[in-house]
Amino acid sequence: MQSWTLPEIDTPGGSRSPVVLLSEDEARAVLVGLDPGQELGDHQVKEHAWVVVVDGSARIGAGGEEIEAPVGTLVHFEPDERHFVRSENGAKILLLLAPWPGEGHYRGQERAS
């Protein structure tokens, strides 16, 4: 068993220094700090993505829909779904990606079977 106390893990540098907690073929878990005013701008990933707000609050949007996301909010994005996460006052989010890496994650390479 492995465990992490997410609010206590330092994320220096905010979104520029994500902390990879675990990375296996099945999934990747990444803790991302968002300093006040920081954002993960409009982007997409090749995997299913789940975002959990573990500290602070964020504004999360996709497909023209936006929500305020306080601590405890869980959001899911389909592969290739464009989305953003931003925080006016700062937040810490857990990002879960599965499977890892998703097909097409590395350009020019197919996912190993």
Instruction: Give me the pLDDT at residue 113, please.
Output: 46
pLDDT in tens, the chain (113 residues): 999 999 999 998 888 889 999 999 899 999 999 999 999 988 889 999 999 999 999 999 999 999 999 999 999 999 999 999 999 999 999 999 998 776 766 665 554 44
Structural domain includes residue 70: yes
Beta bridge partners of 65: 62
Range of the domain at 58: 14-98
* CATH number of the domain bearing residue 22: 2.60.120.10
Structural domain includes residue 110: no
Q: Which two tokens stand for residue 85?
A: 């996460």
Q: What is the pTM of this model?
A: 0.85
Structural domain includes residue 83: yes
Instruction: Give me the pLDDT at residue 109, please.
Output: 55
Q: Which two tokens stand for residue 40?
A: 């993960």
Tell me, what DSSP letter sits at residue 71? T
Report the phi/psi class of residue 104: left, alpha or beta, with left for phi > 0 and alpha for psi in -120 to 50.
left
Domain count, the chain: 1
Structural domain includes residue 36: yes
CB 85 within 8 A of CB 34: yes
Instruction: Give me the pLDDT at residue 25, please.
Output: 87
CB 84 within 8 A of CB 44: no
Structural domain includes residue 9: no
Structural domain includes residue 25: yes
Structural domain includes residue 48: yes
